[in-house]
Structure 1
Amino acid sequence: MKILEHRLLNELSPAKVQYIRIDPEDISVTLVDILKFLMDLSWLKNFDEEYEQRAFNSKAQKTVDDIKEKFAKCSDDKITKEAGEYVVSELSREALINELGYLDIPLAELLGKQRSGNPGFDFHSANILTDTVIFGEAKYVTRTSAYSSALPQIKRFIDDKKDIEDLPDLKPFCTSKSLNRASNGQKGFAAAFSARSTSSDNLIKKIKERDDFKALLVYEEIILLAVNI
């Protein structure tokens, strides 16, 4: 993948708002790279007990097998709707790690979270300089930019306290200070979305006009991640 743009939207302070545009480049290569990242289960060492490592290894393997099956249905030049959200999630998560230097936390589904029945945020990270946990939601829509799906979903999850419910799952990865800050409202959110060919200026303009985006500006950080698929 390639980072095409990284903007700091200073006009929206005091919240720290960043915009990152991501190019997956060669889709077939990207899918292979994503699977390599997902199959690297070195993060299991974060769990102290052997039984925890075995349990989370079993959950992660089932998820990886499911993702492999969805990726196998993709062609060389395009991805399926079923695979799209994984691509947006993982590329955005990697951008937080590589571009911003934020904490590497595996995708929520690898930790055993169910997307159906009790859905929650798709990915997480943390600004290690400020001890700010980042809760990320990814959306993929085939015909249009998906920010209009990602932003209201984040708002619904906040209203339903899904971010608070996620905190115990993040204990092996985050500091106690960051988790307590998040519990007290000092946290950040990442909206990751497929962006098609819409220009960044137009995306940012439309997002800034949305009430569900404005509602997020009371928090520490907002990261907008536009993925060119």
Structure 2
Amino acid sequence: MFKILLIEDDASLFKEIQERLAQWEYNVYGIENFHDIMGVFTSVQPDLVIIDIQLPKFDGFHWCRMIREHSNVPIIFLSSRDHPTDMVMSMNLGADDFVQKPFHFDVLIAKIQAILRRVYNYSSESPELKTWLGATVDFQRNRVTNEQGMMELTKNEMLILKLLMERKNQIVSRDEIMNRLWDDQRFVSDNTLTVNVNRLRKKLAELDLGDAIETKVGQGYMAIDQVSG
């Protein structure tokens, strides 16, 4: 179970993030005395640190510098400010990522998981939450989220997307997709399948993923694993 130190002075936001991260079995530690952040850091020895920029006494940049003098632990910055210089400074100080407030929680989770996988060679992933082309696909809530926003899918649309994601970069025939929908008691006709795929593509386009599902004429559909360009 990974330990996360959340340096956030907004008590309600801290509690919300702590509760949501606990659902993914992360141990989240907070700060009571913002004059002794390094003392807490040394005591907790976290696997990842999330720092708000605007803090009492000293800002998040100061504490990032202090942490970097002692540790290469991954750091994610949170900020309600939209100055590009904040992101640049964060990266220059050795932060691993930057999340703009307000944020979709699924985006934060995806960033945390990506960093932990990279730094600690951690490869396990919830069967209900998958990352794809920078987006988080939540099969339980039927939604796709990335930095462009969040899109709700119908159950049929999510079933189609899930099947295509299970076979990324492989062609899945129209018959196989319809059989999967039939097995799940949501049978669709050939024409209805076309309508569902088109609607799915239209929703993904709102997240700049409109080209992520390709049509293979006379064969079926394919979810790609990277966008060329």
TM-score by length of 2: 0.29
Q: Which has the higher helix share?
A: 1
Larger Rg: 2
- Which structure has more relative contact order (CA 8 Å, sep 6+)? It is 1
